């Protein structure tokens, strides 16, 4: 099959177009169907806009990082034809940048130490127990004070207009009690560092987007555009990650995995495409990428296992 304009676009043309997207997996296990949808959706959106697509490894949560999961993810993605346009960025190499960002936040006078354990704050949003000073002994987490009554409004390209309030979310943790920089801080710092213009990811992260917008605002950073893809759930409606169906896709035929991810994203790939080489599938998918068919769809159900040729 001859290569399309999409795949033939040079790196220079892509970079000139300005769009910079990313896939930012946490290496806490193998790539599964849910993460594949995030990877492929962000890739297609970037390529459709003649943009660059980057892979960032979010390996900050060291207790949960699985040795070599990042390497395996990268290999699986490469088999699927999804390769980063720039060298992979590992968050574990970015600690000084997060420390500097904490310094900027501290200078705003809005950081405060919090002694509450995760258990104490598990039910509902953090009620602000330590806003006037920590209530118990350390070690302390650090939270960013979000003004009471703050409302974050943003337009999600897939999930539509969003409105999230401080009252619903509470104040975000930016450094954890165990001393680790929080995901909410690192993701904002790195999206800015990598000049990401478009964040396309799973809808499980929609609810923490306001935190990221507020942290970015406090750091004086520009917000990216957001598109939250429907969350992949079990055929029976349960959460994917908790069950057998979250099995690694690393062992699947790449064509089957791509085809399945396209179907989950309602891209209606023609059946004749299923047996074609990976490059042809991606080529078709870029040319026919229509995220608008997902508008307002919060979830998408995985197929029954017997429908997959594993
Ligand atoms: N590392 C996060 C995860 O794997 C995703 C971060 C993001 O896309 O913003 O859930």
pLDDT at 81: 98
Minimum CA distance residue for ligand 1 atom 7: 24
What's the CA-to-centroid distance between 270 and ligand 1, angstroms?
30
pTM of the model: 0.91
In the predicted structure, residue 308 carries a pLDDT above the cut 70 = no
The full 3-state SS of the chain, as one line of letters, equals CCCCHHHHCCHHHHHHHCCEEEECCCCCCCCCHHHHHHHHHHHHHHHHCCCEEEEEECCCCCCCCCCCHHHHHHHHHHHCCCCCCCCCEEHHHCHHHHHHHHHHHHHCCCEEEECCCCHHHCCCCCCCCCCCCCCCCCCCEEEECCCCCCEEEEEECCCEEEEEEHHHHCCCEEECCCCCECHHHHHHHHHHHCCCCEEEEEHHHHHHHHHHHHHHHHCCCCCCEEEEECEEECCCCCEHHHCHHHCCCCCCCHHHHHHHHHHHCCCCCCHHHCCCCHHHHHHHHHHCCCHHHHCCCCEEECCCHHHCCC
The number of angstroms, rounded, from the C-alpha of 32 to the middle of its chain's C-alpha atoms is 14
| Rounded distance from Cα 19 to ligand 1 centre (Å) | 19
pLDDT exceeds cutoff 50 at 205: yes
Question: Which pLDDT score, from 0 to 100, does residue 8 have?
Answer: 43
13 has pLDDT over 70: no
Mean pLDDT of 9-15: 57
Say what the pLDDT of residue 236 is: 81
Q: How confident is the model at residue 305 (pLDDT cuts 50, 70, 90)?
A: low
The answer, yes or no, to whether any atom of ligand 1 lies below 6 A from the CB of 221, is no
Ligand 1 atom nearest to CA at 25: 4
> 10 or 220: whose pLDDT is higher?
220
Q: What percent of the chain has pLDDT over 70?
A: 90
- CA of 119 from ligand 1 middle (Å) equals 23
Ligand 1 mean position, distance from CA 196 (Å): 14
Question: What pLDDT score was predicted for residue 11?
Answer: 57
Q: Report which ligand 1 atom has the smallest distance to the Cα of 23.
A: 8
Q: Is residue 187 lining ligand 1, measured as CB closer than 6 Å?
A: yes
Per residue in 108-159, pLDDT tens?
999 999 999 887 777 889 999 999 999 999 999 999 999 999 999 999 999 9
pLDDT digits (tens, 9 = 90+) for 39-90: 999 999 999 999 999 999 999 998 999 999 999 999 999 999 999 999 999 9
Tell me, what's the pLDDT at 274?
86
For residue 247, the model assigns a pLDDT of: 60
Q: Is 24 in the pocket of ligand 1 (CB under 6 A)?
A: yes
pLDDT at 204: 93
Between 3 and 194, name the one with better pLDDT. Answer: 194
Per-residue pLDDT of 206-259, as tens digits, reads 999 999 999 999 999 999 999 999 998 888 887 775 444 556 677 788 999 999
Write out the two tokens for 90.
């590992």
Cα(24) to centroid of ligand 1, in Å?
A: 5
Give the model's pLDDT for residue 65. 93
State in Å: Cα 56 to ligand 1 middle. Answer: 9
| CATH numbers and ranges of domains, the chain | 11-303 (3.40.50.620)
Q: How high does pLDDT run on average in the chain?
A: 90
Local confidence band at 32 (pLDDT 50, 70, 90 cut-offs): confident
In this model, does residue 18 exceed pLDDT 90?
yes
């Amino acid at each position: 099959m001859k290569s399309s304009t999409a795949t033939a676009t040079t790196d220079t043309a892509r970079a000139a177009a300005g769009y910079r997207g990313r896939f930012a997996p946490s290496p806490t296990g193998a790539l599964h169907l849910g993460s594949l949808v995030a990877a492929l959706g962000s890739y297609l959106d970037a390529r459709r806009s003649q943009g660059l697509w980057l892979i960032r490894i979010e390996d900050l949560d060291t207790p949960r990082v699985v040795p070599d999961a990042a390497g395996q993810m990268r290999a699986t993605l490469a088999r699927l034809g999804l390769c980063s346009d720039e060298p992979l960025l590992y968050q574990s190499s970015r600690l000084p940048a997060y420390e500097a960002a904490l310094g900027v936040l501290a200078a705003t006078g809005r950081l405060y130490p919090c002694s509450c354990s995760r258990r104490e704050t598990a039910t509902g949003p953090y009620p602000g127990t330590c806003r006037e000073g920590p209530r118990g002994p350390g070690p302390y987490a650090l939270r960013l004070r979000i003004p009471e009554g703050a409302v974050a409004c943003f337009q999600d390209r897939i999930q539509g207009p969003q409105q999230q309030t401080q009252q619903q979310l509470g104040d975000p943790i930016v450094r954890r009690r165990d001393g680790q920089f929080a995901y909410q801080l690192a993701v904002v710092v790195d999206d800015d560092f990598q000049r990401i213009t478009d964040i396309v990811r799973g809808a499980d992260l929609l609810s923490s987007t306001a935190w990221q917008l507020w942290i970015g605002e406090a750091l004086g950073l520009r917000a990216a555009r957001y598109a939250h893809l429907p969350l992949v759930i079990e055929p029976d409606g349960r959460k994917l990650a908790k069950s057998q169906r979250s099995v690694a896709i690393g062992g699947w035929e790449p064509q089957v995995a791509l085809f399945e991810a396209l179907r989950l994203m309602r891209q209606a790939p023609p059946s004749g495409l299923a047996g074609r080489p990976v490059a042809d599938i991606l080529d078709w998918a870029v040319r026919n990428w229509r995220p608008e068919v997902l508008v307002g769809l919060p979830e998408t159900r995985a197929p029954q296992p017997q429908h997959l040729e594993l």
